[in-house]
């Protein structure tokens, strides 16, 4: 059984780039890329990770998933997400974008509700289990995409007419909804529900957290991600960065 390691730093710095020395990397690390944020009042944190091919996880993820479920039950003993200040603040942030959070709730809220109602967190691919842990610990909207499936730079914006996304519940019209797009079109967003079996062959996941700017420091998504990575040693950081909305000038 492998040991669970905790790096003393624990929290990754705001825009630091963490790279593994070439001698330890299984694959050549890719260059960092940018992501524009075009939604006023919102902020985004993005991290590109790489699977540690040499790492035998043993029962590490079993322990991590059990811990996440115990945390969720402890924080919400009555099973009422409406009592969460974080979730209420995210709903308020969606209304500023003209989005009805009751009609289009973040997938994070739906996941947390499912976990509380069933009393369990379904097991799945490593990327999905990381996503579930991050959602439980932060209560924030997250998404994950395979680095091989995107063509940077990325763009976080409102969807346009004719753009669609598919998730575990089927196809959805993206018009006027927040979407993460690359040079080829829309890829995902925080309202997309990922199936636990997806991204089975993903070796380089890109995790993205979306938050109203005023909520960012309180939630600290990079801290949750840093702890998950260092506690499991399942992934190594390639790079991570935070982006904020900047109004056009000139």
Q: What CATH code is carried by the domain that includes residue 88? A: 3.50.40
Radius of gyration of the chain (CA): 17
Q: Is residue 12 part of a domain?
A: no
Query: What's the number of domains the chain is made of?
Result: 1
84 φ, ψ to 5°? -85, 125
Share of the chain above pLDDT 70, in %: 87
Percent of the chain with pLDDT over 90: 75
Region 144-162: what's the mean pLDDT?
A: 96
Residue 130 belongs to domain spanning: 22-244
99 within a domain of the structure (yes/no): yes
Note whether 138 and 215 are within 8 A (CB).
no
Does 13 map to a domain?
no
Compare 168 and 69 and report the one with higher pLDDT: 69
Domain assignment present for 17: no
Q: What is the pLDDT of residues 59-69, one digit of tens each?
A: 999 999 999 99
pLDDT digits (tens, 9 = 90+) for 5-59: 333 333 333 334 444 433 344 456 789 999 999 999 999 999 999 999 887 888 9
- Is residue 6 assigned to a domain? no
Q: Which residues contact 65 (CB under 8 A, 6 or more apart)?
A: 121, 123, 129, 132, 133
Of 58, 60, 50, residue with least CA distance to 24 = 50
Judge whether 166 and 117 are in contact, CB under 8 Å.
Answer: no
Dihedral pair phi/psi, residue 112, rounded to 5°: -60, -40
With respect to residue 140, please indicate whether it lies within any of the assigned structural domains.
Answer: yes
* Domain presence at residue 16: no
pLDDT score at 116: 94
Assess if residue 86 is contained within a domain.
Answer: yes
- Measured between alpha carbons, how far is 34 from 230 in angstroms, rounded to an integer? 24
Measure the CA–CA gap between 158 and 177, rounded to whole angstroms.
5
Task: Please name the residues in contact with 31: beta carbons below 8 A apart, sequence gap of 6 or more.
Answer: none
Neighbours of 39 (CB within 10 A): 18
Tell me the whole-structure pTM to 2 decimals: 0.86
């Amino acid at each position: 059984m492998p040991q669970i390691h905790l790096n003393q730093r624990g929290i990754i710095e705001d825009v630091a780039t963490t790279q593994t020395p070439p001698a330890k990397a299984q694959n050549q690390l890719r260059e960092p890329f940018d992501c524009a944020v075009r939604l006023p009042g919102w902020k985004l944190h993005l991290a590109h990770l790489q699977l540690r091919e040499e790492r035998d996880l043993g029962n590490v993820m079993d322990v991590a998933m059990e811990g996440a479920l115990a945390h969720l039950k402890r924080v919400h003993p009555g099973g009422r997400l409406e009592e969460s200040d974080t979730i209420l603040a995210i709903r308020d942030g969606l209304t500023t974008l003209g989005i009805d959070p009751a009609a289009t709730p973040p997938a994070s809220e739906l996941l947390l509700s499912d976990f509380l109602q069933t009393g369990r967190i379904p097991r799945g691919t490593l990327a999905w289990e990381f996503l579930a842990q991050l959602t439980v610990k932060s209560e924030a909207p997250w998404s994950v995409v395979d680095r091989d499936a995107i063509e940077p730079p990325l763009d976080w914006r409102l969807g346009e007419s004719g753009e669609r996304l598919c998730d575990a519940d089927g196809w959805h019209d993206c018009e006027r909804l927040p979407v993460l797009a690359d040079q080829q079109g829309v890829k995902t967003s925080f309202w997309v529900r990922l199936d636990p079996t997806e991204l089975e062959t993903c070796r380089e996941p890109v995790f993205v957290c979306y938050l109203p700017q005023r909520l960012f420091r309180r939630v600290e998504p990079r801290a949750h991600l840093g702890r998950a990575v260092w506690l499991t040693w399942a992934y190594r950081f390639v790079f991570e960065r935070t982006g904020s909305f900047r109004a056009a000038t000139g």
